[in-house]
Structure 1
Amino acid sequence: MFAKPKVLLSWLALLLSFTSLFLSSWILLPAPNMFLLTLAVGAPEISPWLLLLNLLSFLLSFFYIRRRKLQRLACIFTFIGLLICGWVLMNIPPTQMQMAKAMKQGLGANYLEQIPVQVRAKMLTHPFELVNFFGGIASRKTRHKKDIIFAFPAGVALKMEVYQPSKVGKYPAVVVIYGGAWQYGNPHANLEFNQYIAHQGYTVFAIAYRHAPKYQFPVQLDDVRIALNFIRKHAAEYEADPERMVLLGRSAGAHLAMLAAYQPDAPPIRAVVNYYGPVNLTEGYKTPPNPDPINTRAVLKAFLGGSLEELPNQYKIASPINYLTHPLPPTLLIYGSRDHLVQARFGKQMYESLHNSGNTAVFLEIPWAEHAFDAVFNGVSNQLALYYTERFLAWALFKQ
């Protein structure tokens, strides 16, 4: 009468061992389509949980699977899963050391000393903490205004959301631009990040723009510039300092942030933060990633209105890397080594071009990270990115 539960436990252990390996494998495997890309993005970010899952699978397999061959197979599955997850966790210390070195090289060895003590006191104390991973990064009280219409281009209501510290005051401005292949998304994205940054002492403006393919470039850039003018005009109303402003974007939003900040007639911008954004659309079209889950060329055609062969000048105009002919705001670039939408090599190319042209830039690369790694706010990669992003913001906007 006790045989059935044991048999069920053994099959459960085998299933769990296979599942844990399958999930862990996406830390290494490139995703061939958008469905599997979700697994490839999320797996490394939850690797501590997957490590525990593999460990549990190993113990269940060892104690409950009686058939020797099945037990050996299940233990091999979980052992491989443990190695894969362990690779991420073992690489955290050298990665954070590399990032700390890159920050000092780009901003100066004493850049932290230029940040006021009271600002530093609010920041994350470590680049990665398991307590923040399992318990979440604490969110604190902020003020949040929604559905603020800042323009009606072509009859389309463009809206923004504003996040402010809990206390009334005057704060530096961080303008956040969402990603989505220039085709989708909204200002409500990355809510946790915006709340966190607002609590650190910034007024955060999360802005919208019109989407391709209905609206093609340079419409999106025009909308960002309209938003910046609106923010400067209404800065006092939202307790923002228009002379202390940073643009921060993700993916397509990072591309627009760089383009807006790099224009010769751009308003005063203190710095730009680029999370895995396209910088060289010409080369991106010529050499798409392999595999290419998003169909890079189709996305670029929808955004720009045609192929590279049809519109070579449009691709050039839309590439931030072609705007290095005058002094530019300091730029922080953060990319994942395993990004199969916007490859890290483009971020490094942008960094080298900025550096060689005499501009201040920092390039941070996360070895295990895919595109949109910060979708898991308390995940492994975003903790690292957030730690150095808030230091870069404070250096750019509060430095003495």
Structure 2
Amino acid sequence: MKYKLICIVLLLCCIKMRAQSYAGLTGQRDTSYGNYSAYESTKKTHPDIKLITDFVIPSVAEEKNIVYKRTSANRQLLMDAFYPKEKSNHKRIPLIMIHGGGWRTGNRTQHYPLAQKLAALGYVVFTPEYRLSTEALFPAAVYDLKEAIRFIRRNASTYHIDTAKLVAMGFSAGGELAAFLGVTGNLPLFEGNDGERSSVPTHVNAVVDMDGILSFTHPESGEGDDSKRTSAATYWFGYPRKGNEKIWETGSSLTYAGSSTPPTLFLNSSVDRMHAGREDYIRILNGYNTYTEVHTFEGAPHGFPLFEPWFEPMVNYIDGFLKKVFR
């Protein structure tokens, strides 16, 4: 592992000398992907789906627009919190829910329904925004989410949470990021700029990956095909895959999977490329007797977390996994 990290450090130094493309840094928010647009697209092939919209749950409190970080450009990054109103004698399990959208679009409101449902089950759920590839390239989003973890740990008493049971959870690009947080906790390479680092640890204790890839360079991955249009990952890295495979490996969770990787739940659609590298990742974790669990929704589209008939089973799988891991 030490040799691997030395190689990655050298690679990151080389990255600075390569011609990185900033073409995707438009400075304008990309709103092309949202829950309703996903519904309109998906119902063409799955006409019986039902879009899950926000719930009104009297037992759940909601706190919006919490500033968890200010960037060097004085940009405020926000998150929302969902938690049970009822007081508990036991500290609750905190979850960080990371939205999808190809690292370029989407927003933190995408999974409000899931956050509300999980809060009703007794969890405390945080939905942070992070800088997308229209604003900043990899690994800026990782730095942001590490700071979200620090914020949650620093405010543990406010939300009455057990930070020894912190869970990173995400869908699609958010699932990829959740897994990346799981394998790079406290790793100096991805802790952020000097001004962002602190003594507050950034590791997580479990991962829930909903259709997020584990490797950008795995044969199963569909990322990097720029023949028709620039792929989402090419925008995110600022480098095309061809000729820059090592750079893409640097951003892949599979590269870092090892003895300190936490238990992981995979919830997957029937789209095989959306779990690229999963089996290799699981084999590594099995070698360390680290628990993993996989549930595949046969015939489900990639956007399954947003729709019934998969939403309720998904909630149950997440709840069951966390009870098993933290019992």
Report TM bin, short chain. Answer: 0.7 to 0.9
Distance 1:279 1:251 in 2: 11
Distance 1:200 1:186 in 2: 24
* 1:154-173 alignment, distance < 5 Å: 154=72, 155-169=74-88, 170-173=91-94
Distance 2:274 2:170 in 1: 16
Q: Is 1:288 aligned to residue 207 of structure 2?
A: no
Max Rg structure: 1
Percent identity reads: 22
Distance 1:272 1:143 in 2: 24
Match for residue 232 of structure 1 among 153, 160, 166: 153
Deviates more, 1:263-272 or 1:179-188: 263-272
Partner of 2:300: 369
Question: For residue 246 of structure 2, what is the amino acid of its counterpart?
Answer: N
**Alpha carbons of structure 1 residues 189 and 48: separation in structure 2 relative to 1, 3 Å:** closer
How far has the Cα of 1:225 moved from its partner?
A: 0.4
Distance 1:207 1:36 in 2: 21
**Alpha carbons of structure 1 residues 365 and 236: separation in structure 2 relative to 1, 3 Å:** same
How far has the Cα of 1:264 moved from its partner?
A: 4.9
Superimposed CA distance per residue, residues 295-326 of structure 1 (whole angstroms, 9 cap, x where no aligned partner): 78621110001112343332111100111232
Q: Which has the higher helix share?
A: 1
Partner of 1:177: 98
* 1:197-216 alignment, distance < 5 Å: 197-216=118-137
Partner of 2:317: 388
How far has the Cα of 1:362 moved from its partner?
A: 1.0
Partner of 2:248: 315
* 1:242-391 alignment, distance < 5 Å: 242-265=163-186, 267-283=202-218, 288=222, 298-338=231-271, 342-344=273-275, 346-376=277-307, 379-391=308-320
* 1:213-224 alignment, distance < 5 Å: 213-224=134-145
Question: For residue 82 of structure 2, what is the amino acid of its counterpart?
Answer: Y
Unaligned runs of 5+ in 1: 1-33, 50-132
**Alpha carbons of structure 1 residues 352 and 137: separation in structure 2 relative to 1, 3 Å:** farther
Distance 2:256 2:311 in 1: 29
* Cα RMSD for the two superposed structures: 3.1
Match for residue 61 of structure 2 among 140, 143, 156: 143
**Alpha carbons of structure 1 residues 146 and 36: separation in structure 2 relative to 1, 3 Å:** closer
How far has the Cα of 1:358 moved from its partner?
A: 3.5
Distance 1:166 1:245 in 2: 20
* Contact preservation (8 Å) 2:176, 2:209: yes
* Contact preservation (8 Å) 1:337, 1:370: yes
Distance 1:174 1:258 in 2: 13
How far has the Cα of 1:359 moved from its partner?
A: 2.5
**Alpha carbons of structure 1 residues 39 and 194: separation in structure 2 relative to 1, 3 Å:** same
* Contact preservation (8 Å) 1:249, 1:275: yes
Distance 1:211 1:229 in 2: 20
Distance 1:145 1:325 in 2: 36
**Alpha carbons of structure 1 residues 171 and 45: separation in structure 2 relative to 1, 3 Å:** farther
- Matched residue pairs, number? 274
Partner of 1:153: 71
